[in-house]
Structure 1
Amino acid sequence: MASSDLGNRRKCRRTRPADSKVDGVSIVAILDKATGPEILLQKQYRPALDRITIEIPGGLIDAGETIEQCAVRELKEETGFVGVADSASGILFNSPGFCNNNFNLVYVRVDLSQPENQNPSPQLEEDELIECFTLPVKSLFTELKRLEKEGFAVETRVVALAEGLELSKRWNL
């Protein structure tokens, strides 16, 4: 494709603030429980699919906000948990053949011993219906297969995390 054609291609997102290189963040929050590490997930109805999806928390970045600030804010809003951003990926693209939206994957530490994390209370927007739950990291791949059989749509990021864990096990990495 000629470079002049690039300007004619439709961009599907208009959510990126002028001062940001990304639209938003997706958050990997691992809770260190007595029975082993568990990943924080959510069930959320998505009208485009007319199904309930299994997702990791995330959201759009606000103007003037860093990706770390966005991740901590979104985690609190969607799950009620208070965390600290640990590290982040580079820019990731959802579907570059289809649209230009992108995000950073941010790893957030949640200290379950902190008082604010004892009874987390989400601060959802009016139109958000989100149910938070956790799954053991060790059996994430198997548990997601079970949820798919139950009719849930599993979002790509969650599948990629589970597949990576499964490959690591299979190849003894």
Structure 2
Amino acid sequence: MTTKSFFVVESVTIRNGAVRSALADARRCSPTFAMLAMGRDSRFRGGVAVLFCFARVVAIQWCRLKNAAVNAADQVAFEGAIMEEDVCTASFDEAAGLPELLGIEQVSDGWIKKYILTYRLPNGRELKYDVVSRKGLEEYRSEIETLGTVAPQVDAVCIVGHTANDEFLLIREFRFPMNRMCVAFPAGLREPGEDIVECAARELREETGFDLVRDECGQPVSARACVQPGFSSLGMGDESIAMVFAEVERVAEPRSESTEFIESFLLPRAGVPAFLRENRDPLSIRCQLVLEMVAQPPFEFGVKAGA
């Protein structure tokens, strides 16, 4: 004697973003099982009742879980639709408008300061954006409100030093954010009003004991600063750095500060490719770019690749 299941749960459907489900008892039992359920054995009838109650509870709970899953999927679809509104479906046209700066709020102080910028986007929405800067609130506000109408100031310098023996001057320095020694070109912050090339010379002497090669009058023989500064991380902050390319020579011992842990080394041009392959210390992006171009000039690489 066999029995068949007697509960059917309707499928869950979505229409107009609403979740609809129904629990229906299609058939209470098969004829054979109905006969047994009506027997005189009260224990059996009680067991059948318990079985029906349990099955009904399970079916109801299953429907609730199913509805929750559908609701979650519907929410994901809704959020996806919101995100799709932010996706540009056409090429950017600056004439159509740019984000408008509404306000600046300083949320933390210290050597590095954090600000929250509020923008109004061309579509009318407001956007909060986190940035960091070494500058105080008013100086930072003045900078970002006038940038593009006045030349950007130089916050720091980075020196690509080259010796008469065709070597590059690099440093290994303990960087606290990375918690380890990192490889870079000598670099440092510029004092207010300081000449960019002389700032580079000062940082060289302090960090490495090297200086710019100078003539009899004390003027640098070969030192060139880039036409305009570059920015370290345009998506996160406003720090600008001037790259200085110069011939350098050892003149003294380094004079690093007590919180600086720096060692300098010379890297021959011929050894650059092997250094890039074997180095495991984090690299400054400026150092990486220069050394990669020395090891494999990009335009030569393009010619070979297209050959």
- Could you list the per-position Cα deviations for residues 45-87 of structure 1 after superposition, in whole angstroms to 9, with x for gaps in the alignment? 1111112100100100001201111101101111111213610
Is the Cα contact below 8 Å between 1:61 and 1:67 reproduced in 2? yes
Shift of 1:167: 3.4
Is the Cα contact below 8 Å between 2:206 and 2:254 reproduced in 1? yes
Distance, in Å, in 2 between the alignment partners of 1:72 and 1:5 is 41
Shift of 1:126: 1.0
Distance, in Å, in 2 between the alignment partners of 1:73 and 1:2 is 40
Is the Cα contact below 8 Å between 1:15 and 1:60 reproduced in 2? no
Matched, 1:39 2:168: yes
After superposition, where does 1:19-168 map in structure 2 within 5 Å? 21-33=153-165, 37-83=166-212, 84=220, 86-89=223-226, 90-110=228-248, 112=249, 117=250, 120-148=252-280, 152-168=281-297
Distance, in Å, in 2 between the alignment partners of 1:74 and 1:22 is 15
Normalising by structure 2, we get a TM-score of 0.48
Is the Cα contact below 8 Å between 2:229 and 2:241 reproduced in 1? yes
Distance, in Å, in 1 between the alignment partners of 2:203 and 2:210 is 10
Secondary structure of the corresponding residue to residue 246 of structure 2: strand
Aligned residue type for 1:4: L
Higher helix share: 2
Normalising by structure 1, we get a TM-score of 0.81
Name stretches of at least 5 consecutive residues in structure 1 with no aligned partner.
none
In structure 2, what is the equivalent of residue 13 of structure 1? 133
Shift of 1:97: 0.9
Task: Output the aligned Cα RMSD.
Answer: 2.5
Shift of 1:142: 2.3
Query: Which one scores higher on RCO, CA 8 angstroms, separation ≥ 6?
Result: 1
- Could you list the per-position Cα deviations for residues 103-130 of structure 1 after superposition, in whole angstroms to 9, with x for gaps in the alignment? 00001222x4xxxx35x30011111110
Name stretches of at least 5 consecutive residues in structure 2 with no aligned partner.
1-97, 105-116, 118-128, 144-151, 213-219
Higher strand share: 1
Shift of 1:5: 4.8
Distance 1:137 1:13, change over 3 A: farther
Distance, in Å, in 2 between the alignment partners of 1:49 and 1:6 is 32
| Structure index of larger Rg | 2
**How many positions carry a matched residue from both structures?**
160
Shift of 1:166: 3.0
Aligned residue type for 2:273: F
Distance 1:6 1:87, change over 3 A: farther
Identical amino acids, percent of aligned pairs: 28
Distance 1:15 1:139, change over 3 A: farther
Is the Cα contact below 8 Å between 1:140 and 1:162 reproduced in 2? yes
